[in-house]
Structure 1
Amino acid sequence: MILLCRPVELAEGQSRGFVVDGLKLLLVRRRGQVHAYENRCPHRGIPLDWAPDQFLDQSGSLIQCAAHGALFLIESGECVTGPCAGDFLEALECSEDAEGIWLLERD
């Protein structure tokens, strides 16, 4: 497991970006649950953020691609509008305990 941050460093409704061994990823906390995805739009393969740690739309309820405005559900990564509608962000496994939010290493 790889430590990404302490739990207090990802507040409710907040998103953060990380790079681990060349892998760009993002975390979002929604309703107390942490969701982790590869920071890569399925439409063009480019990073989603328009500024550091800025992955959410204005309402804070959807992940938004800065390049073309595609919107993704936080809970599943499904694109609900935009050129990649029906596609999904690549979900990553993470866990959280009192010490931190951890990325589970892939096989």
Structure 2
Amino acid sequence: MPENARRIWLCRRDDIADGVARGFDPFDRGQDALFVLSHGGQVYGYRNACPHVDGAPMAWRRDGYLNSSGTRIVCYAHGAQFLPESGRCVQGPCLGQYLQPVPLEVDGGGELYAWLTNRE
């Protein structure tokens, strides 16, 4: 885990169905700092920031991080598309760059946590 990171509860793992993404604002800043998606039975977490313009939020509406088929992460500001399992851009202005991953943990009771620093 990142140095100085703390474990922050997000939701139950079952609350995020396969092919769905959900944003989280764990520090109550008024904008989602990260999003979590379920793809192929796995969960992946990423900072809500496009690498093309660091800090640019990805979603066009609440929890709108995926394309209509749920197969790619999309930055609606730039049209960039990213692979869910790696965060690698495969189409758009940041081709070959990566979303910044957020470490996740699912405990034995099915609770989903992110390991975050206050700067996330």
How far residue 31 of structure 1 moved from its aligned partner, in angstroms, is 1.1
Give the partner amino acid of 1:66.
Y
Runs of 4+ in 1 over 6 A off after TM superposition: none
Partner of 2:115: 104
Aligned-partner Cα distance in 1 for 2:23–2:37: 9
Give the partner amino acid of 1:105.
L
Residue 14 of structure 2 aligns to a residue whose secondary structure is: helix
Query: Percent identity, aligned pairs only?
Result: 40
Higher strand share: 1
Aligned length: 107
- The answer as to 2:52 corresponding to 1:43 is yes
TM-score by length of 1: 0.93
Where does the alignment leave 5 or more consecutive residues of structure 2 unmatched?
Answer: 1-6
Cα RMSD for the two superposed structures:
1.5
Partner of 1:65: 75
TM-score by length of 2: 0.83
Contact 2:14–2:110 (Cα < 8 Å) also in 1: no
